Structure 1
Amino acid sequence: MICLDFACHCVKVSGCGVPSYQPDTNRVVNGEEARPYSWPWQISLESFFPTCGGTLIAPNWVLTAAHCITFHTYRVVLAEHDMNKEEGPEHGYICVSILLCRNDIALLKLETSAVINDKVLPACLPQHSETLAHNEPCYVTGWGRLYSGGPKATTLQQALLPVVDHSICSRSDWWGSSAKTTMICAGGESKSACHGDSGGPLNCKGRDGKWYVQGVTSFVDGRGCNTPQRPTMFTRVASFIPWITEVRDDPNVQLLNQNLNLKTYNNHKTNILISINMIELL
């Protein structure tokens, strides 16, 4: 495993963000089972068991949350829907590089490139510094708990989480100073991600009709997943496009893939945001 921390631009993946099986976005209110394979970039991140979600952004690159990563060997499973069944299309890939940024974002390089087909497709990446409008409809997906303290979902779930503008989310009676400009607030009250959804995508449809991973699921309030005026917090992918490009274009990453020992680079330390009023979505 490799731990890098660059001074956090990414090229859009050709053929990204247009699923063969269109997601059903007409009936989602507080969350429901997703149409199988309608979010073909959604991955399950597994060590000894499924721990987090993530997003395929290229055939050999996955985006997830840095707080999902510890000192383990990880496997990425694509084309997963029902965790309790072998449905046929699922395929696992070993991660040979893990690259962390100072914020709650990580890149995983796969040992072999994923086969792109009607059930496996990368999500598109936003433009650097792109912003989302207040109330823009986005969708969180994952196999996390159905509610605070409740059971984990066995099938992939989706929920509509409208974006909450930073000027609102950063108010003292909302998230206050915990809401950074490198984050996206979305949802709130009955609409929320929950524990186990960490690292998964905040999916937002662009004007071009393609789906973009605008956020990486990061944390919720410590009092519960559906706490009023505490929307789910996502790492803003658009803030880290230069870092993503730098990592993917760095030839040293290719060379270091042969060394699976954890490497830490001097003067670059991972700094994951944790405080007593937040819960990581593990």
Structure 2
Amino acid sequence: MFCLNLHLTASVSGCGVPSYWPNTSRVVNGEEACLYSWPWQVSLESFYPTCGGTLIAPDWVLTAALCITLHTYRVVLAEHDMDKEEGPEQSIMVAKMFIHPKWNDNCVSCGNDIALLKLEKSASLNDKVKPACLPEHSSTLTHNQPCYGVTFSAAGGPRATRLQQALLPVVDHSVCSQSDWWGSSAKTTMVCPGGDSKSACHGDSGGPLNCKGRDNRWYVEGVTSFVDGRGCNTPKKPTVFTRVGTDVLINMNNNFKKYLSSFHC
């Protein structure tokens, strides 16, 4: 793995701009991510790590609805190696959980697998902890657009202890909804990147689909939802993500609307 530890200073700030840029130069079937190159990645934990998530504001985290039960949760930021206490980690308890009102935990493929977590206190933003940008309602992804899944799951193997990333080109809905792909399970509220024989088992539930915008910032365009029951490397069965949009999050929670009006990345 080659990592260029380019530490960008105050010339660029705000959401979606890592201080340590990720290695995106090669098409890979999953590899260890460069240290702190995805500074919005969150580990959602109860008694143990359960899901991934995305920091989208100092005190808001985005994850999957299927991750949320009656447990008490905390989020851990700046986590790279789960087997080591490396120093910059931040552990913050979750104060409130807001699940999409149309989520049905008996039908994951019905959609709406998305949740907002309000933290007890704001994360301390620094060069290792930053929020991802949120896409606008009108945001569209093009076929084969390069996006990245980030997770602590290894491709087709046991859980990795270090943060992993995988290149996942976007599959257009007209392709993903074909009968030999996901068929009717692929809704327009979903996005399914990857899908060939080298698809990576890239995502904990709730983890982000990171796509770079024209402004060179990273946007969380999807939340990891479900995979094929036969395994993560099944051809034409990419991991399915719930599409993210500011309108979806505003409709879920009015407090988030207030946040958007008071905080700008």
Question: Hey, what does 2:53 align to over in structure 1?
Answer: 54
Which residue number corresponds to residue 128 of structure 1?
Answer: 137
Asked if structure 2 preserves the Cα contact closer than 8 Å seen for 1:123 and 1:212, the reply is yes
Q: Helix, strand or coil for the counterpart of 1:54?
A: strand
* Aligned residue in 2 for 1:216: 223
Q: Map 1:182-261 to 2 at 5 A.
A: 182-188=189-195, 189-194=197-202, 197-238=204-245, 241-247=246-252, 249-250=254-255
Deviation at 1:250, TM superposition (A): 3.0
Using the TM superposition, give the Cα deviation of residue 192 of structure 1 relative to its aligned residue in structure 2, in angstroms: 2.7
SS of the residue corresponding to residue 63 of structure 1 reads strand
Q: Is the 8 A contact 2:98 2:253 kept in 1?
A: no
* 1:171 pairs with one of 159, 175, 178: 178
The answer on whether the counterparts of 2:20 and 2:36 sit within 8 Å (CA) in structure 1 is yes
Match of 2:39 in 1: 40
Spell out the pairing of 1:61-210 with structure 2 (5 A cutoff). 61-101=60-100, 102=102, 103-147=112-156, 150-188=157-195, 189-194=197-202, 197-210=204-217
- Which amino acid counterpart does residue 118 of structure 2 have in structure 1? K
| Structure showing greater relative contact order (alpha-carbon pairs closer than 8 Å, 6 or more residues apart) | 1
* Letter of the 1:130 counterpart: S
TM score, norm. by length of structure 1: 0.80
Shift of 1:68: 0.6
Q: CA deviation at 1:197?
A: 1.2
Q: Percent identity?
A: 70
Shift of 1:186: 0.4
Shift of 1:50: 0.3
- Matched length: 236
Instruction: Determine if contact 1:28/1:158 at 8 Å carries over to the other structure.
Output: no
Counterparts of 1:81 and 1:170, CA distance in 2: 35
Contact 1:41/1:57 (<8 A) preserved: yes
> How far apart are residue 75 of structure 1 and its match?
0.4
TM score, norm. by length of structure 2: 0.85
What are the superposed Cα offsets for residues 175-219 of structure 1, whole Å, 9 maximum, x if unpaired? 00000000001001212335x611000000000000000000111
What secondary structure sits across from 1:202 in the alignment?
Answer: strand
Cα pair 2:153 2:204 within 8 Å, conserved: yes
CA distance in 2, matches of 1:36, 1:248: 33
Contact 1:43 1:80 (8 Å CA) reproduced: yes
What's the offset of the Cα at 1:231?
A: 1.1
CA distance in 1, matches of 2:125, 2:252: 22
- In structure 1, distance between residues paired with 2:226 and 2:124: 31
In structure 2, list runs of 5 or more residues that go unmatched: 1-12, 103-111, 260-265
Contact kept? 2:207, 2:224, Cα under 8 Å: yes
Partners of 2:15 and 2:254 lie apart in 1 by 19
Q: Deviations over 1:144-191 (max 9, x none)?
A: 1431xx210100000000000000000011100000000001001212
C-alpha distance in 2 between matches for 1:127 and 1:169: 23
Aligned partners of 1:140 and 1:193 also within 8 Å: no
3-state SS of 2:160 partner:
coil
Separation (CA, whole Å) in 1 of partners of 2:255 and 2:85: 37
> How much does 1:130 deviate?
1.5
